[in-house]
Amino acid sequence: MCQQAAVNMTAKEIKVVIVEDYKLTRVGLRYALNEIENINVIAEAQNAEVGLEIIKKEKPDVVLMDLGLPGINGLEATQKVKMISPDTKIIILTSHDREEEVIASLGCGASGYCLKDIDPVTLSNVIKNVAKGACWLDSNIAHLALKFFPKPENTEIAGVSSSGESKTKLTERENEVLKLLVQGKSNTQIAQELIVSVHTAKAHVCSILQKLCVDDRVQAAVKAIKEGLVSV
């Protein structure tokens, strides 16, 4: 009895923030999740601007992020969250099931992608697993992400076709940076990971954007996954 009580006391509480523009959805999620042991919805926000301020201050374990937010959308907000609170895990919770949004969300740093018809108990399990470092995709959209992974018979080495011709000529270091970029890491995090200056990391990112003929990090991440330039 005492041993069980000790286990319950030491179980880590998962702090959750909900970013969702529909109040009824926010309230419903908060009520349902707060009924689950070890999950505590500490705040909710009706848009990304408010949500980012809360996240910056509270540093939650998990954020439930809608994509179709007014102002800053969920994809851009996900990138910003990873910049201001790198350890916070993000689960996209949306009704959007288009393949571009699934891939872009993963490229921006999301660890999970759920459709809004998910059962609350299942969602609570997703939150607990993602908080521990797992990735999770709704079974209804998982096949969309898999379409963009390179197939072994067509790609022998990431970024190189079976004929040996390079799809995009990146240096070895740029390939390392691109992989970190796909993981949603900021220039500062990339610099720390590769033990280089932030200026050098930024220069590599700029070179990658130019070589991939894209305008921003999100497009670079999506293209990298689509073309199999990195192993995910």
Mean pLDDT of the chain: 82
Per-residue pLDDT of the chain (232 residues; tens, 9 = 90+): 444 444 443 468 999 999 999 999 999 999 999 999 999 999 999 999 999 999 999 999 999 999 989 998 898 899 999 999 999 999 999 988 777 788 778 878 898 999 999 999 999 999 998 998 888 888 777 766 655 554 444 433 344 444 444 456 788 888 889 888 887 778 888 889 899 888 888 888 888 888 888 877 777 877 787 777 876 5
Q: Are 77 and 108 in contact (CB under 8 A)?
A: no
All structural domains of the chain, each given as residue ranges with its CATH number in brackets, are: 2-146 (3.40.50.2300), 155-226 (1.10.10.10)
Question: pLDDT tens across 79-99, in order?
Answer: 999 999 999 999 999 988 777
C-alpha distances in angstroms, 192 versus 119, 176, 229? 39, 13, 22
Contacts of 40 (CB under 8 A, 6+ apart): 13, 14, 15, 16, 34
Q: Are 159 and 230 in contact (CB under 8 A)?
A: yes
C-alpha distances in angstroms, 229 versus 28, 122, 202, 216, 223? 41, 33, 19, 16, 8
Instruction: Tell me the whole-structure pTM to 2 decimals.
Output: 0.62
48 vs 124: CA distance, rounded Å = 22
Question: pLDDT tens across 122-137, in order?
Answer: 999 999 989 988 888 8
